[in-house]
């Protein structure tokens, strides 16, 4: 059994060396596909990280009406805390507001104005939402309906734009990736068909001497898997190298770096091999039913 498996693997490997031109076309197709998908994935992952970071920074600031009593304002804050999506709140009374003012501007406002003009306010921190879109507008609308609210400051529009961009990117990434994968499967399938055609004598002879269809098919599948492995492995190396060079240039201008997922090698190989495997299966289903 092991001897036969080794023989079939060796046959698949030999196929790679026998049909250099078609193998080159298949490997190059997988390489290009994985470069494009890998680049999009890296961009997507880094955008995700940025979005996640921004989501943790989202906050709403509520300013209360000047004539509202502190107890009434605290009641409102309590109500806000019970809203879904609100992580916690920080109430700032008039006294603390003057301290913040002094910290920011270096002057005590009461030295210039007899009466404290700064309103009570409340900073609302939102739940950190990792993977799903954050829509703060429903929370803002609910806060607006509460009594004693004078003004609400938030980054709702900006958040919507960022989330919208992120969603569009994710959709385009998915569509482009699926399209490229389908094209590559078709290319691999055609190269395997050419190989099968070139080896029709061998296939006929194998059938005559008693080979099962599985025995005939396995070397072609191994050939396809090896093509996928080689193409995606080279793509991973090239992408890693490009990232390293890109980051070296980037660090001269900014502290930001583009990172590759540590598991990138695994999933790139997995996708590359899967593409080739499906392409080979498709060709074999057609020519060796």
Partner 1 sequence: MIQMENVTYSYEKGYGVKNVNFTIDDAEFTFLIGPTGAGKTTIMKLIYMALIPQSGVVTTGHFRSDKIKKRKIPFLRRSVGMIFQEYHLLRDRNLYENIALPLYVIGTRHSEIADRVENVIDQVGLVGKEDHTPDELSGGEQQRACIARALVKDPEIILADEPTGNLDPITSFELLKLLEAVNHEGTAVLMASHNYNLIKGRGHKIMEIQQGLLREN
What is the binding site for partner 1 (CB under 8 A)?
A: 1, 3-4, 6-7, 18, 201-202, 204-213, 215
Least separation in angstroms between residue 28's CB and partner 1 is: 24
Which residue number, 100 or 198, has a Cβ lying nearer to partner 1?
198
Q: What is the C-alpha separation between 41 and 19, in angstroms, rounded?
A: 32
Least separation in angstroms between residue 268's CB and partner 1 is: 33
Q: What is the C-alpha separation between 227 and 215, in angstroms, rounded?
A: 19
Which residue number, 111 or 201, has a Cβ lying nearer to partner 1?
201
Structure tokens at 93: 């009374």
Which residue number, 140 or 211, has a Cβ lying nearer to partner 1?
211
DSSP string, 17-67: HH-HHHHHHHHHHHHHHHHHHHHHHHHHHHHHHHHHHHHHH-EEEEEE-TT
Helix and strand tally (H, E) in the chain?
Answer: 9, 4
Which residue number, 10 or 241, has a Cβ lying nearer to partner 1?
10
Least separation in angstroms between residue 7's CB and partner 1 is: 4
Terminal-to-terminal C-alpha distance of the chain: 24
Least separation in angstroms between residue 199's CB and partner 1 is: 9
Least separation in angstroms between residue 216's CB and partner 1 is: 9
Which residue number, 7 or 165, has a Cβ lying nearer to partner 1?
7
Q: Helix, strand, coil % (nearest 5) of the chain?
A: 70, 10, 20
- 8 A C-beta contact, residue 189 and residue 282: yes
Q: Helix, strand, or coil here: 79? A: helix
Least separation in angstroms between residue 219's CB and partner 1 is: 11
Which residue number, 95 or 205, has a Cβ lying nearer to partner 1?
205
Closest by CA to 24, choosing from 176, 226, 183, is 226
């Amino acid at each position: 059994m092991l001897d036969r498996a080794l023989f079939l693997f060796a046959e698949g490997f030999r196929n790679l060396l026998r049909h250099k031109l078609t193998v080159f076309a298949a490997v190059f197709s997988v390489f290009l596909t994985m470069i494009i998908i890998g680049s999009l994935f890296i961009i997507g992952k880094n955008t995700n990280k940025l979005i996640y970071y921004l989501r943790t920074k989202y906050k709403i600031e509520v300013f209360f009406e000047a004539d509202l009593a502190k107890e009434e304002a605290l009641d409102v804050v309590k109500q806000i805390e019970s809203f879904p999506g609100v992580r916690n709140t920080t109430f700032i009374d008039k006294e603390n507001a003057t301290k913040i003012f002094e910290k920011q501007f270096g002057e005590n406002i009461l030295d210039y104005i007899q009466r404290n003009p700064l309103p009570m306010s409340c900073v609302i921190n939102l739940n950190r939402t990792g993977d799903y879109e954050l829509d703060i507008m429903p929370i803002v609308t609910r806060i607006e309906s509460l009594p004693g609210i004078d003004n609400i400051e938030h980054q709702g529009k900006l958040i919507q734009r960022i989330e919208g961009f992120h969603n569009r990117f994710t959709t385009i990434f998915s569509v482009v990736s699926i399209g490229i994968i389908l094209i590559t499967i078709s290319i691999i399938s055609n190269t395997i068909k050419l190989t099968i055609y070139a080896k029709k004598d061998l296939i006929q002879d194998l059938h005559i001497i008693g080979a099962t269809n599985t025995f005939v098919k396995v070397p072609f599948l191994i050939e396809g898997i090896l093509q996928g492995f080689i193409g995606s492995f080279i793509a991973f190396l090239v992408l890693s190298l490009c990232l390293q060079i890109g980051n070296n240039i980037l660090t001269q201008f900014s502290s930001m770096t583009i990172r590759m997922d540590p598991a990138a090698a695994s999933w790139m190989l997995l996708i590359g091999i899967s593409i080739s495997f499906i392409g080979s299966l498709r060709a074999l289903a057609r020519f060796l039913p």
